[in-house]
A and B are shown apart, each in its own frame.
Chain A
Amino acid sequence: MVNFGAYVKNRRLKKQIGLRTFASSIGEDAGNWCRVEGGRLAAPSDINILNKICAVLEIKDTEKEHLFDLAAKGSKEKVPADIKHQIEENDIIPILFRTIDKKKLSKEKLRNLVKRIRDEY
């Protein structure tokens, strides 16, 4: 069964709305919202946010209940920790990591970067 994040992402892409535009239009932080859609952060339980999502995605009243059910289920699940432990640092391979001043990142810094990605992904 599809989860809340996947459902919203699917609806959002059908409406051709990009991630940051959508997050901004429902008053959410884009960094958090990509984790919600990826199922790595719990679904929102705030009814105001859910109503904003319905408004932006033009979700009909008949479909609202389904979205609210998914959100209720998603907000109770302890998803983040479970998912986080499924990603090892070795699973993350940075590609083309040129810095803005064209300097190479040291191996140590690169490892810190991978840790940051693992923590925030």
Chain B
Amino acid sequence: MNTNYVKWHKQKDLEKIAADLHVTYQCKVPIDIDYLVETMNLELCVINRLKEDFGLFGLLAKIKGKYVIFVGKGDFRLTNYSTNFTIAEELSHYILHKQYFKNVRNIDEAVDFFEKTVSQQSEMMIEFNAKYLAGAILLPAEDLKDRSEEVYLGKKSTIAAVMKTAKDDDICDAVIDGIASSLTDVYRVPDRDISYRLRSQAIGFKNFVQREYKQCQL
């Protein structure tokens, strides 16, 4: 096992990759991830029962040298919003990890590659990086900062009243989740993924809410 085989991408590097994509492909909120994928010359294909039969939400595959993102359909839990995030994750794998597979020629080699070359730790790194980049692609940092603060300020008096009486700063998490819920239709991304990104250092919204909480407690 070679745990160092996979490159770890720092969050600031992933933010830059996403920001460059937004500029290059002139992306606007909400990001049409299907359009972005196809504009980057990947193919998008929807197939039946990917999750039910194989336990997969999405899959990146190479077919005759062309990269194809497969997503499932037919599962009632797969909303368009969660499919958007799945496609963004697979696109992120393509951007960050496709080079590891350039010499993989068939299914046996793909399995061997995973079993012999990539350690469990590396797999976690791969997934973590892809998830982070997917969030950065669908939820542009500056836009999300502005909109989340705007929503917060619009509800400030109500939130402040609750914060004043809160027993501890767990209330900050509830506030972040609430803001995420109100932004889900703006970005067409599940609220859990927005919450996750709002808590990231790049957005800094958690710090912002905690500062507000401390002010309310004075």
Contact = CB atoms under 8 A, between A and B. Distances in A.
Interface string B87-123: 0001001000110010011111111001100000001
Contact of A95 (B61, B83, B108): B61
Given A16-B32, A17-B35, A113-B54, A93 B45 contact: no
A17 B55 CA distance: 29
A58 interface: no
Contact of B93 (A96, A99, A110, A114): A96
A36 to B, nearest CB: 12
Task: Report the 7 A-B pairs with minimum CB-CB distance, sorted nearest first.
Answer: A18-B34, A99-B55, A31-B46, A18-B35, A18-B32, A120-B47, A19-B34
Interface of B: 32-35, 38-39, 43-48, 51, 53-57, 59-64, 68, 70, 73, 80, 83, 90, 93, 97-98, 101, 104-111, 114-115, 123, 126-127, 130
Interface of A: 9, 13, 16-21, 29-31, 34-35, 38, 87, 89-101, 103-105, 107, 109-114, 116-117, 120-121
A97 B56 contact: yes
Given A31-B48, A103-B55, A117-B47, A93 B110 contact: yes
A90 B35 contact: no
A94 B54 CA distance: 13
**Chain B binding site: helix, strand, loop or mixed by DSSP?**
helix
B63 A87 contact: yes
B127 A98 contact: yes
A80 to B, nearest CB: 14
Contact of A121 (B33, B63, B123): B63
Contact of B44 (A17, A19, A91, A113): A19
B35 A101 contact: no
B63 A91 contact: yes
B35 A16 contact: yes
A94 B115 CA distance: 14
Contacts of A18: 32-35, 38
A107 B114 CA distance: 12
A20 B83 CA distance: 10
28 contacts: A13-B35, A13-B38, A16-B35, A18-B35, A19-B34, A20-B46, A20-B83, A21-B32, A31-B47, A90-B106, A91-B64, A93-B104, A93-B106, A94-B110, A96-B90, A96-B93, A96-B130, A98-B123, A100-B51, A104-B114, A109-B54, A110-B110, A113-B54, A113-B59, A116-B53, A116-B54, A120-B48, A121-B47
Contacts of A97: 56, 59, 110
